[in-house]
A and B are shown apart, each in its own frame.
Chain A
């Protein structure tokens, strides 16, 4: 059924229907921008049409054959070049499904909210730009769409009116740093390889200028994915952005984009060697992100914030996996990217359902919603199983591959990864327990009867995503059959689908999970509150101070960066004032000093003029004598 669409899409070699994936959402977005506020229904309809159209196209693309097309653009090798191949098909389909499901959900979620029109407009723009990134076969075209996403983030974060749009500013500055690094990286890669075409650049050595090029591109990629130190706007966005935004961007798209590019940089463009310094560096970024994200997720008392921090943490696994530069790690990372997209968006959507029903996701105010919202609860639990890496679910397999790779490189990375498993499980148990089990607790002013299960159009997407987690776990041959070919020859014929090879790794992971469960049960018995189930870690001397500092944003790299910028600006402005002083004061003084003094020499006195005349004559005479 999809074949006709596929052949239609890849027809021709110049102006091609593939561009529809970018152009149609863009135009519809502009249309929604122009339509007046009264036409909300029409906007909704257009939105639905657009995400459906995008899904159909991406399905069609998935069965299409490899194609490359090119439209000349800005000269100097900057083309609008599109390449359909294994990874772009896979990424566009994954994004397309997420766009469709989350879009369907958002339509119900944002109904009647003041930011409805703006949300639709930005969502469609995001879709267009994301498709642009995945289709791009030219580095500048990639950068074009990549950076443009920053504007969408900015717009989305301004939708909910706040007196001071701090989060939007933070997001755009952190993204700008990463994106401009990417720009530099692309410029260096271009000068090294002599081409901007992404299918031409391959295996550049990581040495000399290549080190800088690799570093910049890598940082650009992990920056978009939300790794440390570019992460800190994401938890803030959980408070300030419309919830579906969290599900689609930090939940799905940033990981797809960031890991896609990281994969291209580490595997295709540059020849990253396993065990090399750069590989270690990438792994350390991953490990730090993982540790930091999960450690912070552990102490959150708000579902959205917990999910946002853990979204940061999970990126750590992916970066760690790709950083190993081993096929097993890379396959695991890409698989985990897909899995994370599924379970994290499902979890975010469930959090949104809770917010829709009770008006908040703060677990100090709500709890025990399981009986009132059973389907949401089930879906949350199901996705949560995947989240913690419960055996049989998709993330269990992807994490296992990453563990395998980490262990092959250095045991320290494996230990950090295991700590992550424990932390993830502990934080999930805490939130799940507090939100859905126990006696019902509601914020003041909301009656028991008012809390109801959300409508079907919201339930369905989250449930489909959660069920997908189980499906992709039980039949992991399905996704891995698509992911493994991405590595081509490097794979050397190894098969990663099916049950993990090493039983020992599985057992150790299960022990970690059991420890987390045991910890939760014991702590709950002892404290009597699910929310306090990890407090004994929080208040360990030493750790406590660190946590306190983190809560006060002292450890936020963004704040450190801003302080540096402030000092730098001070130095610059002093220097600037100094130059100004030279012109405004020093030069003026010098001129008036000279003027006054010369003035004294020519004051009209005959005697003085005579002295001048004779000394001049004398000088001339001496000169004359010397010359002859």
Chain B
């Protein structure tokens, strides 16, 4: 019973607590901020408590039957807890960063409410065992995302927020048709009851529409670079750390853990990923908007995650999961660094930015640490995940696809290096700027250092992931 309480608290605390925040905000700004942080940190702490059970033989679960074959249930296995830990850890750092970044803007009450609500919806999605609930939470995140992207309420941001909402929402609707099709075939939405079943290819395609649009994979990717108009912590939260991981998480939940796929998908989907990785890497090189570059990079890196998960080999899946962790940390860090730069120079055009190292030394170093991790260089965490994902593709026999991803990796080095050099070297473009507030600077430093730490102490996350993958019992 205790375990079930933990599970419910994980979901309900941020989900319901979010609505408290606007009220608290009227009393005291500090109180609201601290409460927001606690609401996000609490699931993290609770998940740590749930970890031993999740990694063991008897994961915590909750289940209620409803009429019409519907049911209501949460289930905390290793995969869910892993995703939860990653999402809430990065989200907590981002909320902390917001204390400094959002200080000067209106509507902060709404901001914190939406962010915490978003995290709550994410938690619900992660633990749900029911397809309809997954869909519901999925759309709830989309609504939060829509409000958050359009946070500035200026005329140019509204259509972009709507674009993001329409593309991801449209994808989700197609996915819902897929879910209904599953229900028609099997009479249930309950994933635990569907464990180990086969799946028709056409249903798979319908569901993929949702996943690919949420995870911004070609050809449904173009909302992501456009959404860079949001405040930087939002971009970090949505586009690097948490939102885009929903798609890949649901992929892992449905197609790695639950359903048996036909072998053809271990080649088809990686091929789509390869195209996505290569095209977006190329586009990143032609862009001059700081946040757009990082957003294209996200698209490109998400393809690596999906490649790993869809490769169908043990090392590939483990690599894909590790990639979720490493990419969340590093890419979150990059977006937050971009936020500091944007915050102090009021421009995102890298043609007008240079020599910032002299004024923003800590940001520069954190940026470098995160960028190296995204590039996949040792001793950073990104190295291992990248190696494992590519090794997974080779294992499945997709040599050409692996080669494409190696090209993508080289492109990643090139465009991130270009960005790094343009931003921080050369003549100082903004002599009168200062480093961000201490909350902002320490957040990026923590993310940079975590990227490094998880590379050196790779044993900790790798053991975690290995246990998860071995528990699947597929290989």
Contact = CB atoms under 8 A, between A and B. Distances in A.
B354 to A, nearest CB: 10
B421 interface: yes
A579 B318 contact: no
B384 A74 contact: yes
B439 interface: no
Given A147-B378, A572-B278, A573-B287, A172 B413 contact: yes
Contact of B391 (A164, A187, A576): A187
Interface residues of B, number: 55
Nearest to A172: B417
A172 B410 CA distance: 10
Interface string A153-167: 000000000011100
B286 interface: yes
Contacts of A186: 387, 391
Given A147-B383, A177-B410, A569 B395 contact: no
A145 B378 contact: yes
Given A147-B383, A151-B372, A163-B427, A184 B402 contact: yes
Q: What is the interface of chain A mostly: helix, strand, loop, or mixed?
A: helix
B90 to A, nearest CB: 21
Contact of B417 (A145, A163, A169): A169
B466 A76 contact: yes
Interface stretch (B118-126, B244-252, B457-465): B457-465
A143 interface: yes
B50 to A, nearest CB: 23
Contact of A74 (B280, B281, B459): B459
Contacts of B218: 579
Contacts of B417: 169, 172-173
Find the residue from A73, A176, A180, A584 having the highest chain B CB count within 10 A: A180
A260 B402 CA distance: 26
A187 B394 CA distance: 6
A163 B426 contact: yes
A504 B223 CA distance: 72
* Interface bracket on A: 35 or more
A199 B459 CA distance: 23
B219 A579 contact: yes
Contacts, number: 137
B283 A573 contact: yes
Contacts of B283: 569, 572-573, 575-576
A165 B377 CA distance: 20
Interface string B323-346: 000000000000000000000000
B399 A188 contact: yes
B463 A144 contact: no
B390 interface: yes
A191 B167 contact: no
B45 to A, nearest CB: 27
A449 B414 CA distance: 49
Contacts of A173: 410, 413-414, 417
B402 A176 contact: no
Contacts of A169: 417-418, 421
B254 interface: no
Interface in B362-411: 372, 375, 377-379, 383-384, 386-388, 390-391, 393-395, 399, 402-403, 406, 409-411
A75 interface: yes
A183 to B, nearest CB: 6
Given A73-B458, A74-B462, A163-B425, 12 more contacts: A72-B459, A74-B458, A148-B378, A180-B406, A188-B402, A191-B391, A212-B399, A569-B285, A575-B279, A576-B279, A579-B219, A579-B222
Interface of B: 163, 167, 218-219, 221-223, 278-283, 285-287, 314-315, 318, 372, 375, 377-379, 383-384, 386-388, 390-391, 393-395, 399, 402-403, 406, 409-411, 413-414, 417-418, 421, 425-427, 458-459, 462-463, 465-466
16 contacts: A72-B459, A76-B388, A143-B387, A144-B383, A150-B377, A151-B372, A163-B427, A165-B425, A184-B402, A186-B391, A187-B391, A569-B282, A569-B283, A573-B282, A576-B282, A583-B167
Interface of A: 72-76, 78, 140, 143-145, 147-148, 150-151, 163-165, 169, 172-173, 176-177, 180-181, 183-184, 186-188, 190-191, 209, 212, 565-566, 568-573, 575-576, 579-580, 583-584
